Amino acid sequence: MSEAPPILIVDDQAKLVRLVTELMNRLGFPEVEGVTDGPQALEQLRTKRYGLVISDLDMEPMDGIQLLREIRADDTLHNTPFILTETSFSFEDINVAHLAGADAFILKPFDLSLLKTKLKQVLNGRPRKRETPVGPLSSLNVDFPLLGKF
């Protein structure tokens, strides 16, 4: 990764910020910064351009979903790739995060090969389109034999 983008790590546990920073450095990302809460992250994001945010879900005073929503609502930040991390995700967590615009989810502790795969997917992804609202209904139009048409 010759021109690796700067990365912002957000986690309320300083030890995890250091650990993820070290992992990212080993993966070839030389410019990795970390903060310990959402408001600090927003301040950093508004002063410097980051190519990726990796944020913990469960933080105070602003959790990862709130941070994500703030980023997606900001015209200059809305295309910033965002990976959410947590020790476990419920289906509801994943659904809410997906609707808020999360690009990927990674369970802690990180599996290095999975982290690499997720990074490639997220960093090579397409920019998001603001004019396309997320509808509550499925866009699937498939007839499943036992389930009927969706």
Can you tell me the distance from the alpha carbon of 2 to that of 62, in angstroms, rounded to the nearest whole number? 34
Residue 126 has which token pair?
Answer: 């397409």
Can you tell me the distance from the alpha carbon of 29 to that of 43, in angstroms, rounded to the nearest whole number? 22
Strands, E, within 3-109: which ranges?
7-10, 32-35, 52-56, 82-86, 104-107
Architecture of domain 26-88+99-124: 3-Layer(aba) Sandwich (3.40)
Tell me, yes or no, if the pTM score tops 0.85: no
Q: What is the pLDDT of residues 44-63, one digit of tens each?
A: 999 999 999 999 999 999 99
Handedness of CA 21, 12, 108, 127 (dihedral sign): negative
Q: What is the pLDDT of residues 5-58, one digit of tens each?
A: 899 999 999 999 999 999 999 988 999 999 999 999 999 999 999 999 999 999
